[in-house]
Structure 1
């Protein structure tokens, strides 16, 4: 039987070596305390005191008094900061892109909807990726508005429609869905249809356009596939420090989908929507592409709608540690150092102005910091006021399941981190009034 070996063998042949060994032991003993994340804070009394950056005061201290000053000065510098220091900059232009309508039918959802399936191909440096856009449009409405959003497990998971193929892209393993080896199967058809109230949209004159986000950029800390690798120079294996992470890549994919949608004669306004990490992508897409007529963030949390400086629930350090591929490398220096951030997420929301914006939270989703999401929408509203648009007037959160609907809208619903019929009922009602 082989005896147990010591984890560390010390040979203190000199006083210097002895000191080095003692330091090594100390590091080994203390490293769990040094590197372990503290418990997440869910206590409002422990939220740090912090000055919130004013959207209407420039980095150099000059006040912004009107929408022209906002657009020509303040909006530009805020956008540049988020682009270079948070989400990362798109490194170059595509060489070419194309669209192929490869399937179309008028028999979807019992004949009440038209279905279109479009392949979007992006090419750079003689490398190409292709992802699929699934569209349902209400029949009887020759030019319908649509909600555009990513799904997590494949277009086939949002519907029982057998005409939608199973994605061949990388998907996250999910024991409850029977997904192993990162491959979707027929058994996953329709497993996420509860998150997409497609018939409710159709009955209200709206369509849905959706994409599996893994076809644009697989959600893993590996930049060797997906959108990023199209842009690499010789020998490059990952983006540069201030270049795009996955959230910016997903936002880019939404903008290229918009290139198709704005030229589809059956589609009018496009409202970009996202849940959780894809809510972060929807917000950045709305900030970078003004063609989106409205923006919806559903439970987007840290790096999305929630204020970073509150350090409530998920924090900058936690999100960069758990998902190092989501943001630009330059964002990591603000982990456990949020006080030095010259911006916060209410200024991201302000970049959407004057277009309609909806932020939604869930009462049981404390990780995403509902209060921080609400306060972001509240503090962004002063930019909307420059345009004569009504936002959120009071810093007091509304009651659960009591939505505030203006050009800037907010609700916190009962329940957990998810997308529900209740959410979609609010989004449809709001869109009918404010997205025109």
Structure 2
């Protein structure tokens, strides 16, 4: 057993590859059952349950044919959501490179502000990708005191202990955008990635876990194991400012990370046999890059049982190296908590290699 695998063993993680009845997961059929168990568990204990019967329609409300100096067409799309009791709408941008000669792969970027790809939009379209830009707070405010002002309004039962948290709400918004992207003929519908940073990295993982139309989830500076984390701890997440990102059940009984019936490897495993790209930084005080690597390794058996490779790496993770052999990749960048140019280029390299 190598050093990283020994560390995983020492963290005493909940068993990924064992059914609730105690049977080991030894084949694809067993994994299908186990995957449904994990989805149910994470909905009720972690992210919350998404309300049903929310209908969506879309309207193009603006077109710029000369975006980025004429290199791209930028469309502004309005998402209109409604059920029998309420309605809400938000906007996103779809940027299509004009140079593409084939169906265009896509990055659906959950962003903190109005800067497309953090200001790197031109580089990304120059590499042949379409970009969906959505500011997460347009989907739903990042504020527990404003819980019913956005998409959260579709679940107003505050007594429910498994009501959806903000991460599930933001992921639902991204999934509705995916509904629209499936209608755009210029796009390669089999190559749509969802990408986010920090809490929006968790959103990207949850989005891809729940919506199998995404070929790749990119989690920037997030996704580390809760057990044994050397950065932001499970206890930190229970603070007033962050606890509403998750369902209320997560913090019940004043439990700590070791009491959880899951850990981050469960979430990553739900994306198998598709692709996951994890990125970390050497001086990130919010996310523990080493524990991100362990998450990927601990999730790998789910990919392997489906005939794929998980995360392939050595014990020493080197900065500025893309570990890209398997369906889980990892890129470590020198620096702090940030999603920047080096990260984007590593992800684009991974997508090009795997054709995803």
**Structure having the higher Rg:** 1
Is the CA contact 2:283–2:335 (under 8 Å) kept in the aligned structure 1? yes
Task: Using the TM superposition, give the Cα deviation of residue 48 of structure 1 relative to its aligned residue in structure 2, in angstroms.
Answer: 11
CA displacement, residues 328-377 of structure 1 (integer Å, 9 cap, x when unaligned): 00000275522222211011101000111100111111321111111001
2:149 alignment partner in structure 1 = 225
Is the CA contact 2:109–2:134 (under 8 Å) kept in the aligned structure 1? yes
Alignment TM-score, normalising by the size of structure 1: 0.75
Task: Using the TM superposition, give the Cα deviation of residue 293 of structure 1 relative to its aligned residue in structure 2, in angstroms.
Answer: 1.1
Task: Using the TM superposition, give the Cα deviation of residue 398 of structure 1 relative to its aligned residue in structure 2, in angstroms.
Answer: 1.6
1:398 alignment partner in structure 2 = 317
**1:388 match: secondary structure:** coil
1:44 alignment partner in structure 2 = none
Matches of 2:234 and 2:128 in 1, distance apart? Answer: 40
Distance 1:225 1:85, change over 3 A: same
Matches within 5 A, 1:10-25: none
Matches of 1:202 and 1:390 in 2, distance apart? Answer: 30
Is the CA contact 1:131–1:216 (under 8 Å) kept in the aligned structure 2? yes
1:140 alignment partner in structure 2 = 99
Task: Using the TM superposition, give the Cα deviation of residue 59 of structure 1 relative to its aligned residue in structure 2, in angstroms.
Answer: 2.7
CA displacement, residues 98-148 of structure 1 (integer Å, 9 cap, x when unaligned): 100112233111111111110001112342211111111111325211100
1:347 alignment partner in structure 2 = 266
Matched, 1:113 2:72: yes
Among 68, 87, 98, which residue is 1:128 paired with?
A: 87
Matches of 2:347 and 2:256 in 1, distance apart? Answer: 35
Among 117, 130, 133, which residue is 1:210 paired with?
A: 133
Task: Using the TM superposition, give the Cα deviation of residue 240 of structure 1 relative to its aligned residue in structure 2, in angstroms.
Answer: 1.8
Over 6 Å off, 4+ runs:
none
1:314 alignment partner in structure 2 = 232
Is the CA contact 1:217–1:225 (under 8 Å) kept in the aligned structure 2? yes
Among 73, 82, 91, which residue is 2:42 paired with?
A: 82
- Worse overlay, 310-319 or 279-288: 310-319
Root mean square deviation of aligned Cα: 1.9
1:28 alignment partner in structure 2 = none
CA displacement, residues 202-224 of structure 1 (integer Å, 9 cap, x when unaligned): 11111110111111110001223
Number of positions where the alignment pairs a residue of Structure 1 with one of Structure 2: 343
Higher strand share goes to which structure?
2
**1:368 match: secondary structure:** coil
Task: Using the TM superposition, give the Cα deviation of residue 58 of structure 1 relative to its aligned residue in structure 2, in angstroms.
Answer: 1.8
Distance 1:239 1:91, change over 3 A: farther
2:193 alignment partner in structure 1 = 271
Consecutive unaligned residues of structure 2, counting only runs of 5 or more, are: 1-7
Matched, 1:103 2:62: yes
1:415 alignment partner in structure 2 = 335
Matches of 1:207 and 1:334 in 2, distance apart? Answer: 45
Matches within 5 A, 1:237-248: 238=158, 240-248=160-168
Matches of 2:206 and 2:221 in 1, distance apart? Answer: 15
CA displacement, residues 67-111 of structure 1 (integer Å, 9 cap, x when unaligned): 22101x1111111111111000013221x2110011223311111
Matches of 1:70 and 1:413 in 2, distance apart? Answer: 34
Matches of 1:62 and 1:435 in 2, distance apart? Answer: 36
Matches of 2:11 and 2:272 in 1, distance apart? Answer: 25
CA displacement, residues 259-285 of structure 1 (integer Å, 9 cap, x when unaligned): 001111111121010101100110000
Matches of 1:297 and 1:252 in 2, distance apart? Answer: 17
Matches of 1:363 and 1:201 in 2, distance apart? Answer: 25
Matches within 5 A, 1:153-172: 153-154=113-114, 157-158=115-116
**1:333 match: secondary structure:** helix
